[in-house]
């Protein structure tokens, strides 16, 4: 394990002063009067009269009409979106509301930075920017009190919480304001501020913690970010002294209604609740013989008069499974529990579904639940914090993974982004109080990319990376910026595939150390109650999830995917072991056998780290100028840890399968 060098100041991430400097140099007028006005003025400086302004930031209907701004009055501004109008005399940012206008200002900064990176000049005219998703949200797994096992931030790899310290909400929320500004620049518009595993101290945010919740909400509101709370389904018992939390009990409904009234009295623009129920020990409606629709609708009824939303997580499965039982399949669980309830959820319930059927593995098929509930608002959930993808010690740019999910035609025609367009996109935040926000400085790109892909899933991951580079290193001389761009693309474009290459193969997943989930342990979960197995024996490997002979999971998919995954001949190589148990000698579409692929890909992925390290080394002469010295030190430490861990992954996985199969690596490379 590496020991990171201390850093004295907080890194500005993708909004350094240089990213706003070109706009700040223009005489500007901010015609906003809501809570986001101060943020816009802070980034641009003092207002000048509109007649003298080269840059105007306004909200539709808030400036006496767009004609006063010298632009065409027929502009169609989409809900939650903005237009950028470039004329010979001025640039106008016009948002649907104050928050949209602020996001438009940051979009203009982004376009200006990308133009400097690429050497292009934005053309005059009107460009319209509309959010693809109504909900673009981050879930923080932060604990108010430090948990004895999970710590301050559950599955957090970037230090403590930016919201909490010493068992309380922080007095100084300056860091929260800086975070909200970063999020506004990506398009994120909502944040759940506490862990979905709601412990005793965190539960009280709903009651005696409301004044502090209101303080956080005040800060987030200034950047157009709505506040959500994770709540315990058992709150009426835990906090209200009731003998039950049964959704059918009138006293329980009354308790929730009163609790919600108090929340909105403290936070009038409160977003709603996030609920993890009947999952991994969390309480839920099953205890009372009720369905998840019963439970979600109870809270939805309390929130409805205020316009609030319930985000009800579909992560429900048997985590006390007998490892001998090959018929019970964790992958099936969400579909089994929720698909029969389609149409029974209230309109202000959003079912929050993990992007794959398991648990954020480096490679999973897209969850069939996302296409199985057309009468239910569904959101897709991804994990920005790298629990199973290197824990922000390994460089793993996740935008290609998320892009493949959002673009996947799950119902045969429409992409997932379209299927969830009534619900939205949710990500588990990667941020902590680390000076670089995300532990690994280059992992900032994942947080940035989440917001951008939630806004527009058609963006290419490479272009999003360009945006992040252009903003993060804004102000660098063009030749140096071109070198940084080339180096970072070399390091990051293929990093997800490279990480997969030295870790779990062909979709099998979960070859991690139990508890920490960091580092290799091929059999770590093979005999555990959590229901995640690879079933490797002397003859073969993989889980049979076919309808014909296995758990039947493949049959939960709509066509054509049910047939594609059912047949070993058509199942994609990268998911073969997720759907099929095959002999080690099974020949992949690539022409190599399963076991030789395991041998080769582990070794090749580690060898590819040579190029990653060389790319960063190529920037050594820029350290202290374009590349801050403390950032360089941290990146080098993380790259060294990645190599150490990757070698361990390679050697354990290759050795395991040689000992299990008895098949010699045809390349002649050393196997232990």
Q: Which residues are catalytic?
A: 280, 359, 387
Q: Which among 225, 242, 223, 222 is positioned nearest to 234, based on CA atoms?
A: 242
Task: Tell me the three state secondary structure of residue 541.
Answer: strand
Task: Please say whether the beta carbons of 375 and 343 come within 8 A.
Answer: yes
Task: Please say whether the beta carbons of 596 and 666 come within 8 A.
Answer: yes
CB atoms within 10 A of CB 150: 16
Task: Tell me the three state secondary structure of residue 376.
Answer: coil
Block residue for tokens 């080394």:
617
Residues 6+ apart with CB under 8 A from 374: 342
The tokens describing 339, both together, are 């698909």
How many degrees, rounded to 5, is the angle at CA 106 between CA 102 and CA 108? 115
Give CB contacts under 8 A, 24+ apart, made by 488-494.
488/442, 488/615, 489/462, 489/465, 490/611, 490/612, 490/615, 491/395, 491/442, 491/612, 491/615, 491/616, 492/395, 492/397, 492/442, 492/445, 492/465, 493/397, 493/400, 493/461, 493/462, 493/465, 494/608
Q: Which among 565, 571, 567, 566 is positioned nearest to 589, based on CA atoms?
A: 571
Q: How far apart are the first and last CA of the chain?
A: 23
Task: Please say whether the beta carbons of 98 and 35 come within 8 A.
Answer: yes
CB atoms within 10 A of CB 529: 12
């Amino acid at each position: 394990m590496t020991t990171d060098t201390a850093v004295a100041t907080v890194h500005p991430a993708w909004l350094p002063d240089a990213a706003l400097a070109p706009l700040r140099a223009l005489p500007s007028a901010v015609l906003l009067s809501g809570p986001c006005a101060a943020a816009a003025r802070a980034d641009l400086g003092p207002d000048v009269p509109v007649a003298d302004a080269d840059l105007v930031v306004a909200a539709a209907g808030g400036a006496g009409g767009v004609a006063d701004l010298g632009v065409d009055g027929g502009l169609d501004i989409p809900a939650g979106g903005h237009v950028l109008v470039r004329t010979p005399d001025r640039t106008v940012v016009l948002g649907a509301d104050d928050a949209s206008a602020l996001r438009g200002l940051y979009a203009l900064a982004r376009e200006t930075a990308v133009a400097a990176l690429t050497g292009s000049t934005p053309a005059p005219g009107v460009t319209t920017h509309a959010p693809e998703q109504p909900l673009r949200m981050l879930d923080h797994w932060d604990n108010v009190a430090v948990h004895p096992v999970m710590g301050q931030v559950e599955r957090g790899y970037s230090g403590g919480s930016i919201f909490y310290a010493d068992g309380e909400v922080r007095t100084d929320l300056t860091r929260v304001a800086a975070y909200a500004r970063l999020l506004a620049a990506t398009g994120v518009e909502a944040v759940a501020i506490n862990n979905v595993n709601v412990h005793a101290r965190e539960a009280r945010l709903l009651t005696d913690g409301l004044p502090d919740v209101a303080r956080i909400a005040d800060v987030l509101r200034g950047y157009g970010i709505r506040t959500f709370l994770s709540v315990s389904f058992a709150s009426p018992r835990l906090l209200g002294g009731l003998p039950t939390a049964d959704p059918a009990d009138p006293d329980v409904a009354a308790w929730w209604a009163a609790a919600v009234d108090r929340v909105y009295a403290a936070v009038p623009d409160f977003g709603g609740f996030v609920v993890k129920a009947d999952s991994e020990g969390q309480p839920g409606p099953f205890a009372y013989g009720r369905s998840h629709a019963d439970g979600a609708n109870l809270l939805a009824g309390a929130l409805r008069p205020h316009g609030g939303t319930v985000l009800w997580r579909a992560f429900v499965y048997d985590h006390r499974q007998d490892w001998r039982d090959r018929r019970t399949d964790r992958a099936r669980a969400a579909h089994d529990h929720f698909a029969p309830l389609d149409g029974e959820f209230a309109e202000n319930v959003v079912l929050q579904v993990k992007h794959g059927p398991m648990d954020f593995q480096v490679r999973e098929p897209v969850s069939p639940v996302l296409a199985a509930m057309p009468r239910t608002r569904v959101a897709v959930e991804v994990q920005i914090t790298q629990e199973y993808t290197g824990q922000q010690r390994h460089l793993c740019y996740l935008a290609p993974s998320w892009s493949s999910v959002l673009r996947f035609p799950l119902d045969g025609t429409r992409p997932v982004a379209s299927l969830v367009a009534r619900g939205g996109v949710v990500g588990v935040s990667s941020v902590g109080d680390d000076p670089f926000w995300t532990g690994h400085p280059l992992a900032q790109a994942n947080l940035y990319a989440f917001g951008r892909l939630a806004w527009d899933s058609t963006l290419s991951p490479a272009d999003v990376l360009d945006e992040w580079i252009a903003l993060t290193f804004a102000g660098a001389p063009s030749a140096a910026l071109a070198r940084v761009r080339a180096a970072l693309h070399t390091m990051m474009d293929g990093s997800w595939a490279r990480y997969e290459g030295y870790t779990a193969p062909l979709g099998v997943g979960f070859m991690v150390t139990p508890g920490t989930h960091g580092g290799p342990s091929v059999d770590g979960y093979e005999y555990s109650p959590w229901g995640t197995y690879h079933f490797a024996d002397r003859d073969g490997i993989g889980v049979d999830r076919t309808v014909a002979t296995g758990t039947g999971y493949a049959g939960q998919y709509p066509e054509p995917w049910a047939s594609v995954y059912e047949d070993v001949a058509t199942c994609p190589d990268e998911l073969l072991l997720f759907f099929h148990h095959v002999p080690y000698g099974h020949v992949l579409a690539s022409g190599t056998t399963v076991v030789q692929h395991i041998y080769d890909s582990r070794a090749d992925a580690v060898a590819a780290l040579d190029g990653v390290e060389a790319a960063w080394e190529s920037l050594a002469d820029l350290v202290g100028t374009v590349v801050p010295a403390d950032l360089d030190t941290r990146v080098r430490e993380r790259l060294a840890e990645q190599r150490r861990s990757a070698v361990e992954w390679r050697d354990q996985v290759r050795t395991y399968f040689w000992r299990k199969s008895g098949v010699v690596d045809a390349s002649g490379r050393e196997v232990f």
